[in-house]
Amino acid sequence: MNKNSENISGWKKFMKSITKAHELGTEEDIMLDHDYDGIKELDNVLPPWWLAGFYITIAISIFYYTQVFFNSEKYSQKEEFATEVAEGKAAIEAYKEANPQLFDDSNIVALTDEESIAKGKELFASKTCTACHLVDLGGSIGPNLTDNHWVLGGGVKNIYNTISKGGRPGKGMIAWESTISRDERILLASYIISMQGTAPATPKAAEGDIIWPAE
């Protein structure tokens, strides 16, 4: 035993009690006979704090096991999941009621400021709209978006709805509402409207019987 052990601080005594660490210089007392190329092994005990954590983990796992498999009347993961889903849906509905302007598409109006049109133009390119309608909106696989003939109706609400829900079943473009945000769809519709009457390089022949704006 180290002669100074009686004079160590309270903190060191506490650390020693929770680790059971042997003092330096006393290794010979716990040295094992194993010898691996000059490397010897000490017979240290597991620290009490580690053992406590280990036993607590076992106790918690037993409690969890009994709750899940033997106390299903009071606790059920399925019921807990269903409850949380219901609470989440209720929170969404409450948010919609508190912010109707964010979800009521009947209030959509075309944006005309330069910043919004610029953002719409950028989105038109980044969201691959140009693949079917070309950079100048003259039309390729998709229809010409610069004339006044529309398959599914012109105007910001109709264009927004077409972007959101997609084109004609089996023939038109896909629905983008799950991948493009509501605000971005409004920006796209506004940009398309701003391009009405422009002169694309190779405009596609007019398609659709809906004339907008009315002649």
Cα–Cα–Cα angle for 140, 144, 150, rounded to 5 degrees: 135
Q: Are residues 152 and 162 in contact, defined by beta-carbon separation less than 8 angstroms?
A: yes
The token duo for 38 is 């000059």
Q: Report the CATH fold assignment for 108-211.
A: Cytochrome Bc1 Complex; Chain D, domain 2 (1.10.760)
Average pLDDT per 10 consecutive residues for the chain, totaling 215 residues: 58 74 71 80 80 93 84 74 94 89 83 96 94 95 94 93 89 90 95 95 93 75
Q: What pLDDT score does 192 carry? A: 96
Domain residue extents for the chain: 3-69, 78-107, 108-211
Q: Of 116, 203, 110, give the one whose Cα is nearest residue 159.
A: 110
pTM value is: 0.57
How far apart CA 161 and CA 5 sit, in angstroms, is 81
- pLDDT of the residue at 1: 47
What is d(CA 79, CA 70) in angstroms, rounded to the nearest whole number? Answer: 15
